[in-house]
Structure 1
Amino acid sequence: MGKHKLMDFHRFLDEAGDTTFYGKGKKNSIGTNGVSNVFIIGMIKIKDPLDEVRNKINALQEKIIKDEFYHVPSVLKKINNTGYYLHATDDLPEVRKEMFDIIKTINCSFEAVVGRKSIERYETKHKGKEEYFYADLLSHLLKNKLSKHKKLVLHISERGKSTKNHNLELAFLKAKQRFANINGNKEMKTNVVFNVNYPTKDPLLNLADYFCWTIQRVFEKGEIRYYNFIKEQIKLVIDLYDSEKYGNWKNYYDNKKNPLTADNKISPLKH
């Protein structure tokens, strides 16, 4: 029973994309020169014993450290500087395939909120601050999680100002306000605890990273093969600011009735 409780109360969060809006001279740089069109925060619920899953991922990381086949300069640099950890953006294609195969063996479900980047919204709604943009997305990820459990421990990948305690508390406050707007007098009984950590320290954050990267590939490149491969484990993706599809919750994507497709790629014309 204890193990089940432990798994029920823990979630692991990471992000994909960046929160860059401006280049030199405060010019709009969204979608240019390696700057993303979207920023994504994702959260994974793991239904297997957590240490079993950690051991699977650690075993792959150890294999890469020991096997010379993987020792290209970027991997060796990582091993020497931080210790090797899985990170989908940087990983070799062969490593990605092994990680995706591991993901298929894990009983888990993933949810993500996708924030399309807009200068106007950033300056007005988010007051030109990256941490407010982050808090807004996070609040939408949390708003439906506040009535089931008495406690929820959110293990979050560290991200500068955005994951400072006061900003995470701001996200939690926004989530509580949204919960109240949706549910009226329904009891809000969940106490949220934030545990900011580094992906070098907990391999379960690396698992969340792979899911986030998978969603990023859809929205940035229209590439759906990774998504299709692990689609059954991706419970919900909210394209938060897609106002054209607000009616009938069409900006909410599940893996059955309304899955993501290559058409979800962000067009530069939509800024």
Structure 2
Amino acid sequence: MASNDPEPLALSRRYFVDEAGDPNLFNRHKRVIVGRSGCSAFFILGLVDAEQPEALGRELAELRTRMLGDPYFIRVPSMQAASRKTALEFHAKDDLPEVRRAVFDVLVRHPLRFFAVVRDKHAVVSYVRQRNERSADYRYRPNELYDYLVRRLFRDRLHQDAGYDIVFARRGRSDRTRALQEALDQARRNFESKHGILGTAPIQVRAESPYRSAGLQAADYFLWALQRLYERGEERFLRYVWPSVGLVHNIDDT
């Protein structure tokens, strides 16, 4: 499938944003579930700065076509169209190791730069408890953590270019485009307060399903590699793509 990345603003920088882990801290009984089975210990937000996402999309589509026609993969469940996994899009968690290696090989050949911010969710739990002690009305919302990381990820990335085309991986069914736009606007205001530089270039924000965007599939792969390091201590995947990594900021690593 060819990339369906939307048309960007003229002369814009193109960012593709995805997450690893989840922003959930508590179960429905308000008990902490961070680090337990099914709940990550870290929440990571990352972006890929892609100069030529169309070229990346073409190469990923060609790779998928070759693999789907390869007898070696003929009975692999994730390669079947009905599964809506690798046959539809590259998604590191679902893809076979052989597929992941091939995708990583494609990514490192392209002019991509990856940036990420990381939060230790145990530290977020401590923050929430402190807030609750000060204000009995405060209630943690998972989107609160997501939007905070949007502000941190973009705090110094919205003031140098003629325009910004920012594609977020779609999360659930609700439309959060307005909330994401506000988080980006706040990041820009914070930068102005700190540095005295006002960013005025237009920002175009949209949410897309990853199967429509090669840039989002690339972001997913970088994030998966980073998550394997944080959650499992496995560094070989991140080490392989490290030349394409711009900066990883662990907010809680002091």
Band the TM-score falls in, shorter-chain normalisation: 0.7 to 0.9
Go from structure 1 to structure 2 and tell me whether the alpha carbon gap of 1:122 and 1:190 turns closer, same or farther (over 3 Å shift).
Answer: farther
Match of 2:187 in 1: 175
Aligned: 1:121 with 2:149: no
Give, in angstroms, the shift of residue 8 of structure 1: 5.0
Greater shift, 162-171 or 136-145, is seen at 162-171
Aligned: 1:10 with 2:14: yes
Greater shift, 208-217 or 118-127, is seen at 118-127
In structure 2, which of residues 216, 221, 244 is the aligned counterpart of residue 233 of structure 1? 244
2-structure distance, mates of 1:216, 1:6: 34
Q: After the TM superposition, which segments of 4 or more aligned residues of structure 1 sit over 3 Å from their partners?
A: 5-8, 71-74, 122-127
Match of 1:140 in 2: 152
Greater shift, 15-24 or 190-199, is seen at 15-24
Aligned: 1:40 with 2:51: no
Match of 1:203 in 2: 214
Give, in angstroms, the shift of residue 190 of structure 1: 2.7
Match of 1:157 in 2: 169
**1:43-192, aligned counterparts within 5 Å?**
43-47=47-51, 49-72=52-75, 74-76=77-79, 79-82=81-84, 83-117=87-121, 118-122=124-128, 124=131, 127-160=139-172, 164-184=176-196, 186-192=197-203
Go from structure 1 to structure 2 and tell me whether the alpha carbon gap of 1:134 and 1:115 turns closer, same or farther (over 3 Å shift).
Answer: same
Give, in angstroms, the shift of residue 122 of structure 1: 4.3
Aligned: 1:25 with 2:25: no
CA contact (8 A) 1:108 1:233 kept: yes
Calculate percent identity across the aligned residue pairs: 25
Can you give the 5+ residue segments of structure 1 that lack an aligned partner in the other structure? 246-271
CA contact (8 A) 1:143 1:179 kept: yes
1-structure distance, mates of 2:246, 2:192: 23
TM-score when scaled to structure 2? 0.84
Give, in angstroms, the shift of residue 7 of structure 1: 7.3
Go from structure 1 to structure 2 and tell me whether the alpha carbon gap of 1:148 and 1:162 turns closer, same or farther (over 3 Å shift).
Answer: farther
Q: Which amino acid aligns with 2:171?
A: R
Go from structure 1 to structure 2 and tell me whether the alpha carbon gap of 1:30 and 1:72 turns closer, same or farther (over 3 Å shift).
Answer: farther
Match of 1:248 in 2: none
CA contact (8 A) 1:131 1:161 kept: no
Give, in angstroms, the shift of residue 114 of structure 1: 0.9
Can you give the 5+ residue segments of structure 2 that lack an aligned partner in the other structure? 1-8, 133-137
| 1:125-155 alpha-carbon deviations (Å, 9 max, x no partner) | 9941111111100111111112111310001
For the residue of structure 2 that corresponds to 1:147, the secondary structure is coil
Q: Which amino acid aligns with 2:40?
A: S
CA contact (8 A) 2:10 2:163 kept: no
RMSD: 2.5
| 1:186-230 alpha-carbon deviations (Å, 9 max, x no partner) | 222232211210011112210111011111111111111011111
